[in-house]
A and B are shown apart, each in its own frame.
Chain A
Amino acid sequence: MAETKGVLLPAYVVADESGSMGPYQQELSHGLASLCEGLRAEPMIAAKLRLAVLGFSDDVQVRLAVADMRTETTLPQLTIRGLTAYGAVFDDLLSRIPADVQWLRDQGYKVHRPVVFFLSDGQPTDRGSWQRPHARLTDKSQTPTAPNIIACGIGDAQAATMVKVATRPEFAFVAKAETDIGQAISEFFHSLTASLVASGHALNSGSPQLVVNRPDQFTMAIDEV
């Protein structure tokens, strides 16, 4: 096997596009733009990341395919539509992540365990049926590329649900009750950028953990359960 071209961290931003997010579309757009700008401002970090943006509602639609943000020129745009089917997300990731990892490996890269940043403002409309694909996705024995999932809930999303979605309790956050949802979305993307930059610093450096920064207007969901 030839030498590796690098070791990459695949990062997925999975954003809720359901109807209730409609009033906050501008914050979502601004947040995505600041995320892209933030990574472009850190080319040494961005070189070690590959970013994908997925919008979910009744299904999952790709807003940005796994991209090198140093050279990516398009800005991902989210589209408000439909309900909040969590199951669609985890079904999609079950096939998408292994395929993306294989693609990166075929390009000559080694791959760190992928990370998913999940943002939702609502309870799942598909009730509990999302938990089966979620369990399969996060079980390393069934899915060797099982991602770390960081879950951020705003609006109607409940802390207990975020704890179930996140792969560790300390990876689950909910916006504080008094927080303006638009502001919470901005904070989510701000924190996401900081987490990716900090994780980029940690890559290849012997530091053992994914770095997850708590958004300012959020509390750890475990405190709320």
Chain B
Amino acid sequence: MTTPSRGGAAGPPPPMHPQVHAPMPPPPESAPWLRIPVGTPGPEFEARPPGQYAYDYPDTECDGWSTPDLTLRFASVRGAKHRYYRQPRQDAARAAAHEPTGAIVFAVADGVSSAASSELGAVEACRAALERLLHLLSRGPERVDLQDVAHHAAQRLRQITRWRLNGKDPEPGEVAALHATTLIAGTVRPDRDGCLVELFRIGDSGAWTLDAGRARYAPLFATKTGSDAVVVSNEVAPLPRVPDPLEQISVRLTEHQTLLVGTDGFADPLGDGDGQVGALFAGQLAAPPPPLWFAHLLDFSRETFDDDRTLLAVWPRTAVRPR
């Protein structure tokens, strides 16, 4: 058993905040830890285990911590469809603090369901993106080449496919057939002017700034459900393909904004954010909730929305304090 250390390379922990400073609406009226219904709920049932070798992909993952300048929460929950049909969660998220710059680096991925091992592709794409982001930040913190990060993640998918094929160099189609995944990744960096967010995406995951006080979500990328198209398409162009140019965004967070990054399992029910799902999250994310509660929120029940859901949120610590 290891002894928890205090201080060390990361410096002293951020100060404790004994009180909640931001107003927090009461939690939704439901029994503790039952799924929160939003509108018409989906069917309730006990989740079934995924395939016996899918033990590396637990039903739910969550994380939460703060640097001196930023607070992070993320959660990834298995969708009702995968719980019912004995499939593993195919979404993934990872985040890390880059200590020299005080930045948070993050990645969120959504394995393409038609790929045979997309759950592994999603995790590996996130890992590779984080490794590369941390490396590039250390090498030259003034600018991170996101195209490089995307190619690094694609290369990782090729590597794990080569291992799977016993050393045979895979064709792009073989990589996609086994490990295709969407990826959205980037950095949040505190600087003299506030918080700079830089991120890219491949595929249809989404990112927003949330002004919780006004319950307003501003999408950073075009959203498929927010469009007025007569019919919607779920076509995606995932990794290992890296588009050129890459879809990239750079935005500054004001002190009253939260950065949200999520897969379409969150984006689809959120829509434009002005419905019940938007109200639930705007209310509950006014200040960083406890990580387990964050995951519980994300596992809300809404009929027909049964995809895996992953959401990552970053708050500047100048405005709000964790609960």
Interface residues of A (CB under 8 A from B): 1-8, 43-44, 47-48, 101, 105, 110-114, 144-145, 201-209
Interface contact B304-A48, CB-CB below 8 Å: yes
Secondary structure of the B contact surface, majority rule: loop
Q: Which residues of B are found within 8 Å of A113, using beta-carbon distances?
A: 231, 233
Interface contact A206-B113, CB-CB below 8 Å: yes
Given contacts A5-B39, A43-B43, 12 further A-B contacts (CB under 8 A): A1-B226, A1-B228, A1-B272, A44-B43, A47-B42, A47-B303, A203-B234, A204-B234, A205-B234, A206-B238, A207-B114, A208-B234
* Contact of A3 with B275 at beta-carbon distance under 8 Å, contacts A44-B81, A204-B268 already known: yes
Interface contact A206-B236, CB-CB below 8 Å: yes
Q: Which residues of B are found within 8 Å of A5, using beta-carbon distances?
A: 39-40, 303-304
Interface contact A208-B230, CB-CB below 8 Å: no
Interface contact B113-A2, CB-CB below 8 Å: no
Q: Which residues of A are found within 8 Å of B226, using beta-carbon distances?
A: 1
When C-beta atoms are compared, the residue in chain A nearest to B273 turns out to be A3
* A44 to B87 CA separation, bound complex (whole angstroms): 15
Interface contact A7-B232, CB-CB below 8 Å: yes
Report B77-115 CB contacts with A as 1/0, cut-off 8 Å: 000110011000000000000000000000000101110
Per CB-CB distance, the 10 closest pairs between chain A and chain B, nearest first, are: A3-B275, A6-B304, A3-B271, A205-B113, A144-B230, A208-B235, A207-B114, A207-B113, A113-B231, A2-B275
Cβ-based interface call for B191 (8 A) = no
Interface residues of B (CB under 8 A from A): 39-40, 42-43, 80-81, 84-85, 110, 112-114, 182, 203-204, 225-226, 228-236, 238, 264-265, 268-278, 303-307
* A6 to B114 CA separation, bound complex (whole angstroms): 21
A95 to chain B minimum Cβ distance, whole angstroms, is 15
Interface contact B113-A202, CB-CB below 8 Å: yes
Give the one of B110, B204, B228, B230 with max A CB within 10 A: B230
Interface contact B203-A206, CB-CB below 8 Å: yes
A94 to chain B minimum Cβ distance, whole angstroms, is 15
Interface contact B42-A44, CB-CB below 8 Å: yes
Give the one of A3, A4, A7 with max B CB within 10 A: A3
Instruction: Give 16 CB contacts A-B under 8 Å.
Output: A1-B226, A3-B275, A6-B303, A44-B43, A44-B80, A44-B306, A101-B230, A145-B231, A201-B85, A202-B234, A204-B304, A206-B203, A206-B234, A207-B112, A207-B114, A208-B114
A157 to chain B minimum Cβ distance, whole angstroms, is 29
* Contact of A3 with B110 at beta-carbon distance under 8 Å, contacts A47-B303, A113-B233, A205-B234 already known: no
* A35 to B85 CA separation, bound complex (whole angstroms): 20
